[in-house]
Structure 1
Amino acid sequence: MPADPVPVLQKLFGFPDFRGVQRQVVDRVLAGQSTLAVMPTGAGKSLTYQLPATMLDGTCIVVSPLIALMHDQLRAAEAVGIRAATLTSVDENKAETRGRFLDGALDLLYVAPERASTADFRDLLDRGRVALFAIDEAHCVSEWGHDFRPDYRLLRPLLDRYEDVPRLALTATADEHTRADILEQLGIGTDGMIVAGFDRPNIRYSISTRDNTTRQIADLIRETPGPGIVYAQTRAGTEKLAEALRTATGRPVRAYHAGLDPEVRRRNQAKFVESEDMVIVATVAFGMGIDKPDVRFVAHAGLPKSIEAYYQETGRAGRDGDPSVAHLFWGAEDFARARQRIAEVDPQRQPGERARLNALGALVETAGCRRRILLAHFGEDPPAQCGNCDNCLSPPAAIDATETARKYLSAVFRTGQSFGSTYIEEVLTGKSSERSLMNGHEALSVWNIVDGDERALLKPVGRALLLRDALRTNPHGGLEFGPGARALIKGEDTLSLVVPPKRERRRRGGDATPNPLGDALFEALRTRRRELAQEGGVPPYVIFHDSVLREMAARRPTSLSAMAHLTGVGQRKLDAYGEAFLRVIREN
């Protein structure tokens, strides 16, 4: 019978007990059973292999997709006293690492899938002792997944070579199709799946239409202290938005994308990881490789690829469990561009891609709970209201805009399905121009049929028609009918518009700040943590999370034995940092 893992949990990590399904997963691993664990970001997935690795005879091989992620996880493992190493293309100590593995002196060895599938690596494993294979970000193995990596498909022969070694696949982002594919591709039985649920209750979800992206995101940055990630659509847009936000907010803001000089990219990422207030504006290439728990907000300056991608990207906020914000800003042109991209992919993939886009449309268009739609997408049955999304906190009104939508579609049809939204609005509101006179459009039945309050509906109606695929844009920017137009014109469908409540700008602080009560001792502890982090060359959160410092400030331990009872203070960290923080408490 496997040994009780709780004493090891308390000594290594300083946690009194396991959270959620962690115990179930750890027990299966210690019993030698292969497992797929689907756990939300921030639920402690890495602990489910790190802890068993210290108890099993041999080394746990961790397959991870990005070098930066491996190095972050290596730092965190070493900080609690786990013997760990990485074997990557940028490591200069490869010979030493191989030697440690062969000598049985490693609990964890992190490798990329590209290396794991090589004959050279198989030969290395044959000469050592492997206790466990942990496949992180396991959704990358599935073509159904939004981050498919072909190299993950090459792992099965390696796993089968060591058929007596258990396999632990880990992901936070996998719908039903993807989960089934992971099980098949990695050779894990269907009885080996543990799904913890997808809810991240500490994240407040908000979605808004774009009107001035820089101003809207700058407002969010001013209201939300702490590190943040802004996802932009293009490389050029990333740098332009970073500069604009830096000027508008005065906060440190840097750009990150694959086109930057590698050294600049590495430096920007490193500065963000160690910072307590930096904002990084990035393409979606950024994030999977970041194991930073104190990100306070994630903003999207445009539509993500899918609900799965949105869930994973927003999940980079609040991994420490503290209140965090996820705000998506979208425009109708996002949906138009997405449909154009879908038309260019393999026809066999198009139905699935359209389903993903329609699911995003339902999320941004709803007047109901955002979290309910998000969780239902992953097969859960959440309550009707979550109490922590924009629609639950400030319920929007909904108005019937069906007649305005029919007028809009009529104008598109009668002008020949070749003009953009601005001109269609001019026709409907009777704004005369050289173009309208030359085309004879002022004689049409749709000329000047929208006035008064209805004029304000034209832009949101145009957005809604594009979102629903009732309208599409042609390559020249003109509007033409999509599949959803017919039902609206024939009176078989209606169009309801969500009218968001007037937004009140919040002052900086509130629940978003790490120190909502303004505790002077907490700030002094943070200052000491920052100094220790600089001395040790590690990010502040590797030493202690803010939640540990808040408990420290509240309970004011006077001895190392008292400090050892704080959640998150394991033996290694107590030995390394305990006296330094006790001195701060005594002096304050």
Structure 2
Amino acid sequence: MSLGIREAREALKLYFGYEQFRPMQEHIITNILQQKDVVVLMPTGGGKSVCYQVPAVVMPGLCVVVSPLIALMKDQVEALLANGIPAAYLNSSQTADEQYQIEEKSLAGQIKLLYVSPEKLLSAGFFSFLKRLQVSLFAVDEAHCISAWGHDFRPEYTQLRALKQQFPAVPVVALTATADKLTQKDIQEQLQLRQPEVFVASFDRPNINLMVLPGQNRFNKITDFLSRRHGQPGIIYCLSRKATESLAGKLRENGYNATFYHAGMSAQQRSKAQESFLRDDVLIVCATIAFGMGIDKSNVRWVIHYNLPKNVEGYYQEIGRAGRDGAKSDALLFYSFADVMNLRTMLSDNDKSQNELQLVKLERMQQFAEATFCRRRILLQYFGEQMSRDCGNCDICRNPPSRFDGTLIAQKALSAIARSQERLNMSLLVDVLRGSRNSQVMAGGYDRIKTYGAGRDIGTLDWNRYLHQMLNAGLVELAYDQNYTLKLTEQSRQVLFDGRKIELVKFEDAKQQTENLQREKPKREIIKDALFERLRALRKRLADEQNVPPYVVFTDSTLQEMAAEKPANRIAMLAISGVGAQKFERYGHSFINEIIAFLTEEQAKGSAIKGATHLVTWEAYQQGLSPEEIARRRNLNPVTIYSHLATLLEQGYDVPVHDFVSKREYEAIIEAIEQLGKDAKLKDLYEHLEERYEYFKIRLSLAMHKMQYAW
């Protein structure tokens, strides 16, 4: 086993509550422990933080984490402290005295991870301060910000090459969720990394359900979506600041707890909106893309894109803010061609040197939105990853479109384009085909062409879908410099004049294709969901008392596992993923008590919950009732209650056997067990002891002997 990896595994369980590393994490950590530079490309929620936090705990000295956003530092430090790991941050939000105290703690060796902004790192005298410390590792988070080729370039990041210049022997790990090959290469060069090991994790986030819906009637579709996700936090990304405010206002008018966030707000307003969302005081944030990079909130259950994103990298990073804990989550994208035109206009006004690249990226985003086969395969292919089969967790997989001979439909559209002298944009073409008499159609005289009204039998939405497919198939081209008018191609002439056949895809109308909600849940699922809600409410109360975000207490996936497994003692609770020793000491008993109280209430209602009946007995016993009194109240045989106590004893509960079995009786029963063997049946022991001892005394003695408890 590699040097330090055993300690790393122990730290993972002790501080983070996980039994084993996720794929690739152990290899990354091994390289860091061997003092190698590393580049980590891992999707949001894939476990990047663990890749440097675990080595930081294991290695002597202090790890310096360079992070671009103050809120992100705050989140991660709070989470580390909750796990029992000494961490702190230094940035402009603190007073000089607060910063001085943290520097003193760092010098005293009381801090294992120190988060700093790039501005703080590069400020006068800070490198001199770091040289007084034993720096074990530099971690550069959101490393794509260092590259002009990345989608979120930060000029101050380019000065981070000073790390290797000032500390040539200290390993550097650069981490990002989204970087193409050009950006990856630039990261290595900018940071002057020395023969770094590059780890590219799978981009697949199978827990995220991918959906795309037409952009028409978006608000009603959003409220329908939200009505099925009561109490679940989520983000709605909008293209403009005005849209975030307007949408949040409409949601509030409809009874939803929503706020907005954009760069035009004051720092105090943005901070208040973000803090409310982090703490689940507000469940919905309508935001521009300025929001989200700086949060580490693991219980975001859904992300909606109100408008088409500019590129796949941005889209992927933004949907990755849902389901960071690995639990089921949703990503819904609204798509309209108007969004494409707006984005092209915006990009055309940007830096000309980057313009062509950005327009190509937009086209790839458009192709994803217009896909007619598995969306996840398209997404993974964009990042150079092949998927051999369809995912089964996107709208296309769940609602596969049917293909049909669309030659006549294509000919109608192409004929209208030709007869209008190629002066129609997509919207106007649909109006002409459907026989609209609006001002544009009449002013252009398009009501007099032969194909006017030839497509009345096809709805506007379907016409748009067919035209997008024709565009993707190369049957028409868009003249971006001529108000997005449609032009014929050589292929379109083949369809019009040479008998070429065309297949089109027909989508079923959205019969709630976003989810299958008609199925009634079985009773155990309803109980599990109810317990999850109880645990979530408890988490919120505890988080508010300690002034931390709820997900810092436990993630949704940890609560879901608790709701499924119903751990009711220390051993069972520590077996839940995400429950480490520190968190158990702080929160474990509260959650155990809540689970037992819930099960007791359900039993009282007559619900049969497998494996829970002995916990109800324990709850009653804790209230001071005798086994006989419990038996009467629960209408059970007292022998059954004693059997429950024996099971509880075997599960680690502190059952006072001495109250029911004397030392003399216990010794006699143990002697019989040793003579007949530990696997002897109760009946055999009872008869061997000449029926002098009741069954329950033998059962309790067996449990005590099995657990090797001393009298």
Q: CA RMSD in A?
A: 2.9
The residue number in structure 1 matching 2:535 is: 525
Q: Alpha-carbon deviations, 1:19-46, whole Å to 9, x = none?
A: 1111111111111111011112222111
Shift of residue 400, structure 1, vs aligned partner: 5.3
Structure 2 unaligned regions, length at least 5: 599-711
Q: Which of these residues, 42, 45, 49, is aligned with residue 42 of structure 1?
A: 45
Letter paired with 1:80? N
The residue number in structure 2 matching 1:504 is: 511
Q: 1:486 to 1:110 in 2, by over 3 A?
A: same
Q: Alpha-carbon deviations, 1:137-167, whole Å to 9, x = none?
A: 1111122211111111110122321010000
Letter paired with 1:269? Q
The residue number in structure 2 matching 1:91 is: 94
The answer to whether the 8 Å contact 2:426/2:485 transfers is no
Which aligned pairs between 1:555-574 and structure 2 lie closer than 5 A? 555-574=565-584
The answer to whether the 8 Å contact 1:404/1:457 transfers is no
- Normalising by structure 1, report the TM-score: 0.91
Describe the SS at the equivalent of 2:489: helix
The residue number in structure 1 matching 2:75 is: 72
Describe the SS at the equivalent of 1:289: coil
Is residue 17 of structure 2 the alignment partner of residue 21 of structure 1?
Answer: no
The residue number in structure 2 matching 1:183 is: 188
The residue number in structure 2 matching 1:331 is: 336
Q: Alpha-carbon deviations, 1:465-507, whole Å to 9, x = none?
A: 67778224668xx54246xx42444338987654322223358
Letter paired with 1:577? Y
Aligned length in residues: 581
Matches of 2:66 and 2:519, distance apart in 1 = 40
The residue number in structure 2 matching 1:2 is: 3
Q: Which of these residues, 350, 359, 380, is aligned with residue 355 of structure 2?
A: 350
Q: 1:466 to 1:244 in 2, by over 3 A?
A: farther
Is residue 478 of structure 2 the alignment partner of residue 471 of structure 1?
Answer: yes
Describe the SS at the equivalent of 1:531: helix
Shift of residue 76, structure 1, vs aligned partner: 0.5
Matches of 2:304 and 2:274, distance apart in 1 = 17
The answer to whether the 8 Å contact 1:413/1:480 transfers is no
Shift of residue 508, structure 1, vs aligned partner: 7.1
Letter paired with 2:376? R
Which aligned pairs between 1:544-559 and structure 2 lie closer than 5 A? 544-559=554-569
The residue number in structure 1 matching 2:233 is: 227
The residue number in structure 2 matching 1:269 is: 274
Matches of 1:288 and 1:496, distance apart in 2 = 42
Matches of 1:455 and 1:54, distance apart in 2 = 60
The answer to whether the 8 Å contact 1:40/1:196 transfers is yes
Q: Alpha-carbon deviations, 1:280-331, whole Å to 9, x = none?
A: 1110100101111111110101111111111100000101111100010011
The residue number in structure 1 matching 2:676 is: none
Matches of 1:390 and 1:214, distance apart in 2 = 19
Structure 1 unaligned regions, length at least 5: none
Shift of residue 82, structure 1, vs aligned partner: 1.1
Matches of 2:576 and 2:251, distance apart in 1 = 39
The residue number in structure 1 matching 2:634 is: none
The answer to whether the 8 Å contact 1:117/1:158 transfers is no
Larger deviation, residues 313-322 vs 122-131? 122-131
The answer to whether the 8 Å contact 2:423/2:486 transfers is no
Describe the SS at the equivalent of 1:60: strand
Letter paired with 1:65? P
Matches of 2:536 and 2:432, distance apart in 1 = 60
Letter paired with 1:15? Y
Seq. identity, %: 38
Matches of 1:190 and 1:403, distance apart in 2 = 59
Describe the SS at the equivalent of 1:579: helix
The answer to whether the 8 Å contact 1:417/1:479 transfers is no
Is residue 85 of structure 2 the alignment partner of residue 82 of structure 1?
Answer: yes
Letter paired with 2:55? P
Letter paired with 1:546? D
Letter paired with 1:233? L
Describe the SS at the equivalent of 2:509: coil
Describe the SS at the equivalent of 2:174: strand
Is residue 394 of structure 2 the alignment partner of residue 384 of structure 1?
Answer: no
Matches of 1:367 and 1:573, distance apart in 2 = 46
Q: 1:125 to 1:314 in 2, by over 3 A?
A: same
- Normalising by structure 2, report the TM-score: 0.76
The residue number in structure 2 matching 1:246 is: 252
Is residue 593 of structure 2 the alignment partner of residue 583 of structure 1?
Answer: yes
Is residue 175 of structure 2 the alignment partner of residue 174 of structure 1?
Answer: no
Which aligned pairs between 1:306-321 and structure 2 lie closer than 5 A? 306-321=311-326
Shift of residue 461, structure 1, vs aligned partner: 4.2
Matches of 2:440 and 2:196, distance apart in 1 = 67
Shift of residue 442, structure 1, vs aligned partner: 4.4
Matches of 2:290 and 2:337, distance apart in 1 = 24
Matches of 1:433 and 1:571, distance apart in 2 = 70
Letter paired with 2:553? I
Q: 1:17 to 1:232 in 2, by over 3 A?
A: same
Runs of at least 4 residues off by over 6 Å: 465-469, 492-495, 507-512
Describe the SS at the equivalent of 2:20: coil
Is residue 120 of structure 2 the alignment partner of residue 115 of structure 1?
Answer: yes
Describe the SS at the equivalent of 1:153: helix
Larger deviation, residues 23-32 vs 308-317? 23-32
Matches of 1:354 and 1:190, distance apart in 2 = 34
Shift of residue 463, structure 1, vs aligned partner: 4.9
Q: 1:202 to 1:433 in 2, by over 3 A?
A: closer
Shift of residue 430, structure 1, vs aligned partner: 4.4
The residue number in structure 2 matching 1:205 is: 210
The residue number in structure 1 matching 2:243 is: 237
Letter paired with 1:291? D
Matches of 1:28 and 1:503, distance apart in 2 = 49
Letter paired with 2:510? R
Q: Alpha-carbon deviations, 1:425-479, whole Å to 9, x = none?
A: 444444456765665444444444444348775333455567778224668xx54
Question: Taking CA–CA contacts closer than 8 Å with sequence separation of 6 or more, which of the two structures ends up with the larger relative contact order?
Answer: 1
Larger Rg: 2
Shift of residue 343, structure 1, vs aligned partner: 3.0
Matches of 2:34 and 2:302, distance apart in 1 = 39
Larger deviation, residues 253-262 vs 282-291? 253-262
Shift of residue 511, structure 1, vs aligned partner: 12
Describe the SS at the equivalent of 2:389: coil
Shift of residue 516, structure 1, vs aligned partner: 4.7
Q: 1:510 to 1:101 in 2, by over 3 A?
A: farther
Larger deviation, residues 357-366 vs 411-420? 411-420
Matches of 1:131 and 1:433, distance apart in 2 = 70
Is residue 489 of structure 2 the alignment partner of residue 486 of structure 1?
Answer: yes
Q: 1:441 to 1:522 in 2, by over 3 A?
A: closer
